[in-house]
Amino acid sequence: MDLVRIVAPTNSTALIEGETGTGKELIARAIHEHSSRRDRSFVRLNCAAIPLGLLESELSATKEERSRALWRAKWAVSKPLTAALLFLDEIGDIPLELQAKLLRVLQEGEFERLGSTQTQRVDVRLVAATNRDLADMVSKKQFRSDLYYRLNVFPIAVPPLREPSSGHPTPGGALRENIL
């Protein structure tokens, strides 16, 4: 919980790494709740479950376009991204071709909507999570190194929630209890 308190009041990008089921989304929500953007939207995108074309359009769509497209696809993102916290869950599953576009949003705070040549400005706080070893993926050229370094500004490693043999709860388990 100390790491959440440290990063929440900043605008730094956070990368939460840990096994499936360790509460990465709970940590992202805690960051949001303790941030200056807490009165704005918490927008969660599961990068593993959204087809490439829809994910790309989500990152660059208007509120109406997002609501309509996701309603049809049964994803619940319907809030504008301006001044929101954007939580990209399973960031390690984003294809390389989309990683360059995400990098531009992070570096420049701008993007072009699909089919448009007009540049749009965006103001989002990014928190990403993964159960993959992104550093290893970078070494294998499966994940862009420049995107990895942009995401890994404030890393949060979440230990497994398994109980150690001594019977004492892990720090991840204690964190989960504090957040809930």
Average pLDDT, the chain: 77
For residue 161, count other CB atoms closer than 10 A to its CB.
18
Residue 40 predicted with pLDDT over 50: yes
* pLDDT digit string, tens, across residues 72-84: 433 333 334 566 8
> Can you read off the two tokens belonging to residue 38?
């807490």
* pLDDT digit string, tens, across residues 106-142: 787 776 666 667 777 777 889 999 999 999 999 999 9
Q: Among 18-32, 62-76, 151-165, which is the least confidently predicted range? A: 62-76
Residue 72, pLDDT score:
40
Instruction: Name which of 154, 143, 64 is nearest 100 in CA terms.
Output: 143
Report which DSSP code applies to 93: G
Residue 10, pLDDT score:
94
Alpha carbons 170 and 82: distance in angstroms, whole number: 37
Question: What's this model's pTM, rounded to 2 decimal places?
Answer: 0.74
Q: Rounded mean pLDDT of 147-175?
A: 73
Q: Which residues pair with 84 in a beta bridge?
A: 124
